[in-house]
Structure 1
Amino acid sequence: MDLSALMEAVATLNSEDAFGPRLSPEAWQALEPMLTRHEVRAGELLLKQDELDRTMYFLERGSLQVFVTRSAPGTHRVAILRAGSVVGEAGLFGETPRMANVEAMSNCVVWAFRAPRLDELSARHPALALEVVRGAAAVLAARMRANLERAVPVS
């Protein structure tokens, strides 16, 4: 596997909710066996609202739209994510349903990081696991703050 494009995307993303840790090449090398690469075609759902899933994804290439389906007809777009973003970060922290749908707006490459792999990373590289958790939590906090400012319901 080659994470160079993902490393570049994460390092250069400039957004309020960017994944903050600037991981060294050695840290990425240690993280690499914990990740699985997936291609998502334009129009496909990566995450489905209300499903249980304990996976965070790193977006290497493409763009994703995040939207919620309300009980009333229609949907509400929450965000558009660019390469370098993470999505599904809440899944690392508990068995909770997904809060939104995430659909590929273009053909995308994502790298999945599942909660059981976080446990494995914690045992093998505790400092790296802590950095990943801090980064995911910071993304979660930034997005929650932005949604509260826009008065978007969290659940």
Structure 2
Amino acid sequence: MDELIEAVQSLRADDAFRARFNLPQWRNFAAYLTPYQLRAGDLLIKQGECDRAAYFVGQGSLQVYVQGAAPGAFRVALMRPGALVGETGLFSDQPHSASVEAMTPTIVWALHLPRYEELAARAPTIANEVLRAAGAVMVARLRANLAQRVAVA
């Protein structure tokens, strides 16, 4: 878990998850996450399906791509340790607009909606900071897409 916390805190991307937590708050938050191991080629998120979870990359790398773009698929992003992916699942039960696939053996930590709701009931200050930081990730990605003139659905 300390490795995940370090990865999230050290990621220097425009769309990094920048929660303003002290170490005890990070550890409290981390207790609500569920780890998953992926093999290279495993799908974490499938475009068009609903998934009420957000994922933090602990180890490995993921690619985000959109199916149906000519000629077949369009890679949107590469995610490395510390990155947040699938965060829209916490905000909406709408289908995902992209697929996410492990490029290497990868460990992700999931925050499922029921666990987030439990966190909100038990530690509302931490839950509010998760929403603020995840919202900031979405805003950064929206701005990047608009700057590249990528349609946002």
Aligned partner of residue 34 in structure 1, secondary structure: coil
Residue 28 of structure 1 corresponds to: 26
Residue 109 of structure 2 corresponds to: 111
Residue 139 of structure 1 corresponds to: 137
The letter for the 2-side match of 1:17 is: D
Report the Cα distance in structure 2 between the residues aligned to 1:119 and 1:83, rounded to whole angstroms. Answer: 25
Gapped regions of structure 1 (runs ≥ 5): none
Report the Cα distance in structure 1 between the residues aligned to 2:146 and 2:41, rounded to whole angstroms. Answer: 28
How far has the Cα of 1:71 moved from its partner? Answer: 6.2
Report the Cα distance in structure 1 between the residues aligned to 2:118 and 2:10, rounded to whole angstroms. Answer: 28
The letter for the 2-side match of 1:60 is: G
How far has the Cα of 1:97 moved from its partner? Answer: 0.6
Report the Cα distance in structure 2 between the residues aligned to 1:74 and 1:117, rounded to whole angstroms. Answer: 36
Spell out the pairing of 1:116-135 with structure 2 (5 A cutoff).
116-135=114-133
Which stretch shifts more, 70-79 or 49-58?
Answer: 70-79
Residue 54 of structure 1 corresponds to: 52
How far has the Cα of 1:94 moved from its partner? Answer: 1.4
Aligned partner of residue 16 in structure 1, secondary structure: coil
How far has the Cα of 1:33 moved from its partner? Answer: 2.6
List, as ranges, runs of 4+ consecutive aligned residues in structure 1 with deviation greater than 3 Å.
Answer: none
Spell out the pairing of 1:89-108 with structure 2 (5 A cutoff).
89-108=87-106
Percent of pairs with identical residues: 49
Which stretch shifts more, 96-105 or 17-26?
Answer: 17-26
Quote the RMSD (CA, aligned, Å).
1.2
Alignment length (residue pairs)? 153
